């Protein structure tokens, strides 16, 4: 029984951490349009299957941070019942 509880707890923590902003993601600037003096470092996608657009956005920001970005433009947010998706462009700005 203790093993089952530990496995369940591990799964819950593992799933939720990718949707919490990491320290670098908290420093990312969100722009409404392409920022000047910036280069695109990639496209990112965040998904949350339990209905939170904020958590999907956080996941996209974390992925942008992993690419070395310090700015993003949210290109599209797609609410689809319980599955929310966020598509963004990640930028490295001077």
Q: What is the CATH number of the domain that holds 87?
A: 3.30.110.70
Which two structure tokens, joined as six digits, stand for 53?
């657009």
Residue given tokens 């310090």 in the structure block: 70
Domain hosting 8: range is 2-93
Going residue by residue through the chain, which has 94 residues, state the pLDDT in tens, using 9 for 90 and above.
444 433 333 334 444 557 899 999 999 999 999 999 999 999 999 999 998 999 999 999 999 999 999 999 999 999 988 899 999 999 999 8
Q: Which helix (H) or strand (E) holds 4?
A: helix 2-17
- Greatest Cα-to-Cα distance within the chain, rounded to the nearest angstrom: 57
Total of domains in the chain? 1
CA distances from 66 to 40, 45, 77 (A): 14, 12, 20
Q: What is the pTM of this model?
A: 0.79
Rounded to whole angstroms, the Cα distance separating 74 from 80 reads 17
Give the separation between CA 74 and CA 61, rounded to whole angstroms.
10
């Amino acid at each position: 029984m203790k093993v089952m509880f530990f496995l369940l707890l591990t799964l819950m923590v593992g799933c939720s951490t990718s949707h919490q902003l990491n320290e670098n993601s908290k420093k990312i600037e969100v722009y409404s349009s392409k920022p000047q003096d910036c280069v695109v470092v990639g496209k990112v996608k965040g998904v949350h299957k339990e209905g939170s657009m904020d958590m999907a956005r956080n996941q996209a920001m974390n992925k942008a941070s992993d690419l070395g970005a310090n700015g993003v433009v949210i290109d599209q947010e797609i609410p689809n019942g319980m599955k929310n998706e966020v598509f963004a462009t990640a930028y490295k700005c001077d």
